[in-house]
Amino acid sequence: MNLDAALKTYIVESREMLQEMEDILLRIEGMTDQTESLNSIFRAAHTIKGSAGLFGLDGIVGFTHHVETLLDQCRSGDTPITEKLVALLLQCSDHIGRLIDDLETGIEALSPELQQQGNQLIAQLQQIYSPAPAKTPTPAQPEKSSSKPVSPDRPTHSELWHISLRFGLDSLRDGMDPLSFLRYLGTLGEINRIQLIDHHIPDFDKMDPESCYLGFELSYQSDADQNAIEEVFEFIRQDSHVCVLPPHADLDDFARLIGELPENDEDLVNLLVQCGSLSSAEADTLKAPPAVTDETVTTPPPETPSAINKPETIPQAQNTAPPTASRVSSETQSIRVDADKLDHLINLVGELVIAGAGASLNAANNGDTELLESMSTLTRLVEEVRDSALQLRMVQIGGTFNRFHRVVRDVSKELNKDIKLVITGADTELDKTVVEKIGDPLMHLVRNSIDHGIEPPETRVAAGKPATGTVQLNAYHDSGSIVIEISDDGGGLNRERILAKAIRSGLVSAEQPPDDAELFKLIFEPGFSTAEAVSNLSGRGVGMDVVKRNITALRGSVEVDSEAGKGTVFQIRLPLTLAIIDGFMVGVGQSSFVVPLDIVIECIELTNHISAADSDRDYLDLRGEVLPYVRLRDMFAISGKPPERESVVVVNYAGVKAGLVVDRLMGEFQTVIKPLGKIFSHLKGISGSSILGNGDVALIIDVPGLIQQITALENTAYALPKQTMH
């Protein structure tokens, strides 16, 4: 049993349940029927508390118990859902998240600040709910009746609960510590007496140290209801034997319990007496053989077995009964895999792709037809393995988008603005690594839209707009990339203020002001801010440049478009994956380059070559369309003379077309992306490298960067097309 692994799983699952709670809380106010949503929130809180009890995390158990109590009153209708209550429950969710963060970092003792926050939240919770008075369960009116029929004719004397436990063999392997359940019972009441059942521990040479052979019979004093006590064991109920009998349970219930257990009847009766759950007289009644009557002769005997006729039961077989088919089906729908293992798999697939390319090259050089055919089949299978492995890393961006409901709610209230968040394209998939790294840039852009973009309600109404502003998050696929748009219907960027700031900073000339597109890009410059006042949200000019830098590090780009009075749109383009791509390989001199295949439109021959001095501004007429192109030989200063016949690879990125002039076309190529070292980070036009089958290194062209350079040249100079292609 690996408790560290089990605890890690608990941390991950608890965060997922906290996110589920937050998502529901943000929507629940507008729901007409809140019953199912409240049940979902309650289940999430209860599961977090119950699992924490298994690990002895008393701080999480204690705090979550108060949250659970309030949620239970909400479920019963005693406490209505209000905006104030939702805000409090969101704060409680945040506090539980901080407790789990401390757990993950290994902090055992609560900091005074966190302890004070917890106490303040508990006080607010207690002001809303009224703790239920302690009550003593009676046999006639338990909160939840026993699953067995109860006869009022033979109630037992004990005023205590009786709990019978037989843990399944796999309990320890599943991360369930039997003592944790006993500790958790201590949070609801007090264990009066306990008897250990260890008869089934095999001889030492036959014992499996990872199997659980233990059981318990215990008497228990608690004011909790039967439902609360039984929920302590909900995580082991499927594979273990659990029976909870209320105070003054009928003697027939104990008879049925004895019949269900594998131990000897007389020994069990004696154990129940030692627990205090049965008196000696009650035990004698159970031991006595049933009286023979006409009814017992003509009617099949009841299901209560006696010590004489009960067949011997093998405990191991009973505890490891196979689950039902439906349960197996539900459990195999998905599995949780450690991210490091998945990354290792992707790396191995990448090496497999490289090795396959080398084997195919050797087969071609040897001219072995049969080997080439076999390698063709192998290559196809490797491609399928690659695609399947990459698909494992793809996740929907909706999980990231949904986190911003809370941000919009909290920040808009802080700024006294009324803002709604609209999400589209939540099912768009991209690489998990990209999702993890795009969260912070998105957070800054959303907060920037709320703070600077959306106007106050009175300003919007005066301008003829709805008082409620809108921030929209949208995602979609385009040309092998994922596009994420953050838009608002606010006042837009203030062009005059940006221009004035840029002139004062020396970024632009007052005599030759740039167009709107170039001017708006200046907001991504370090320290550039036009905010009149600095707030705790923004205004210091230290955010937008970090946004651009983080997106660029992901081989992406960010653009901004704005219209005065209409709003602003930030558009982020990112690669779908950072691991393996389909590439189109080209050659220039002795060098090889890879262009991402998704953005390649076509390849054409560059005829009537003209060696122009100003080659960076070459254009050609592509069937009536003016197409700028750049020569990779000149871009990367590759020595040697170009061949008589050159080719142009036409690419399209973000709606902009351009041509890349190369010496030769080498065909499609599975490209395993290898990042460049820091020493090469200054290189422009290169986004990574890849190893070829012959061991050579090919550089991956940074097409977005090249197109940006071409666009910049277009904005500074205009030239007539130099060639015509048909």
| Domain chopping of the chain, boundaries | 3-129, 161-278, 339-392, 395-530+541-575, 580-718
Is pLDDT of 323 > 80?
no
Report which secondary-structure segment, H or E, holds 12: helix 3-28
Is pLDDT of 718 > 60?
no
> Are 576 and 481 within 8 A, CB to CB?
yes
Cα 355 off chain centre by: 33
Is pLDDT of 135 > 90?
no
Provide the residue count of the chain. Answer: 726
Provide the token pair at 486. Answer: 């953050």
Other CB atoms within 10 A of residue 60 CB: 23
> Are 647 and 330 within 8 A, CB to CB?
no
Query: Tens digits of per-residue pLDDT, 254-280?
Result: 988 888 888 888 888 888 988 888 888
State in words which class domain 395-530+541-575 has.
Answer: alpha beta
Residues 588-619, buried b or exposed e (16+ Cβ, 10 A)? Answer: bbebbbbbbbbbbeeebebeeeeeeeebbbbb
pLDDT value at residue 663: 94
Is pLDDT of 313 > 60?
no
- Greater confidence (313 vs 58) lies with 58
If pLDDT is split at 50, 70 and 90, which confidence band does 649 have?
A: very high
Other CB atoms within 10 A of residue 395 CB: 16
Is pLDDT of 147 > 80?
no
> Are 681 and 694 within 8 A, CB to CB?
no
pLDDT value at residue 617: 55
pLDDT value at residue 338: 79
- Greater confidence (562 vs 480) lies with 562
Is pLDDT of 716 > 60?
no
Highest-confidence range of 183-187, 237-241, 421-425, 526-530, by mean pLDDT?
Answer: 421-425
Is pLDDT of 322 > 80?
no
- Greater confidence (483 vs 289) lies with 483
The residue-averaged pLDDT of 518-534 equals 75
Provide the token pair at 95. Answer: 């506090």
Provide the token pair at 206. Answer: 């036959």
If pLDDT is split at 50, 70 and 90, which confidence band does 290 have?
A: low
pLDDT value at residue 308: 35
If pLDDT is split at 50, 70 and 90, which confidence band does 537 have?
A: low
Q: What's the rounded Cα separation, in Å, for the pair 520 and 536?
A: 24
Is pLDDT of 208 > 80?
yes
pLDDT value at residue 714: 65
Residues contacting residue 224 through CB under 8 Å, at least 6 positions apart: 188, 189
If pLDDT is split at 50, 70 and 90, which confidence band does 206 have?
A: confident
Query: What are the beta bridge partners of residue 725?
Result: 622
pLDDT value at residue 454: 93
Is pLDDT of 554 > 50?
yes
Query: Tens digits of per-residue pLDDT, 579-633?
Result: 778 889 999 999 999 999 988 999 998 876 443 444 445 788 888 888 888 899 9
Query: Tens digits of per-residue pLDDT, 161-205?
Result: 999 999 888 887 776 778 888 888 888 899 999 998 888 888 888
Query: What is the CB-side half-sphere exposure of residue 308 using CA atoms within 13 A?
Result: 5
Nearest CA to 603 out of 643, 651, 656, 652 is that of 651
If pLDDT is split at 50, 70 and 90, which confidence band does 715 have?
A: low
Q: What's the rounded Cα separation, in Å, for the pair 253 and 230?
A: 16
Query: Tens digits of per-residue pLDDT, 54-101?
Result: 787 888 888 998 898 899 888 888 888 888 999 999 999 999 999 999
State in words which class domain 580-718 has.
Answer: mainly beta
Q: What string of H, E and C letters represents the secondary structure of 421-455?
A: EEEECCCCEEEHHHHHHHHHHHHHHHHHHHHHHCC
pLDDT value at residue 593: 94
Show the CA angle centred on residue 608, arms to residues 606 and 609, nearest 5°. Answer: 70
420: helix, coil or strand? strand
**pLDDT over 70, % of the chain:** 84
If pLDDT is split at 50, 70 and 90, which confidence band does 725 have?
A: very low
Is pLDDT of 319 > 70?
no
Domains 395-530+541-575 and 580-718 belong to one CATH topology: no
Residues contacting residue 354 through CB under 8 Å, at least 6 positions apart: 672, 691, 693
Q: 35-54 and 3-28 helices cross at what angle (nearest 10)?
A: 160
pLDDT value at residue 311: 40
Mean pLDDT of the residues in the chain: 81
Single pTM value for the model: 0.64
- Alpha-carbon distance values, 107 to 48, 98, 114, 120 (Å): 19, 11, 12, 21
State in words which class domain 3-129 has.
Answer: mainly alpha
> Are 228 and 249 within 8 A, CB to CB?
no
Is pLDDT of 1 > 60?
no
Report which secondary-structure segment, H or E, holds 667: strand 664-672
pLDDT value at residue 549: 86
Is pLDDT of 306 > 80?
no
If pLDDT is split at 50, 70 and 90, which confidence band does 153 have?
A: low
Residues contacting residue 384 through CB under 8 Å, at least 6 positions apart: none
pLDDT value at residue 6: 78
- Greater confidence (120 vs 327) lies with 120
Is pLDDT of 569 > 90?
yes
If pLDDT is split at 50, 70 and 90, which confidence band does 475 have?
A: very high
pLDDT value at residue 505: 81
Cα 246 off chain centre by: 41
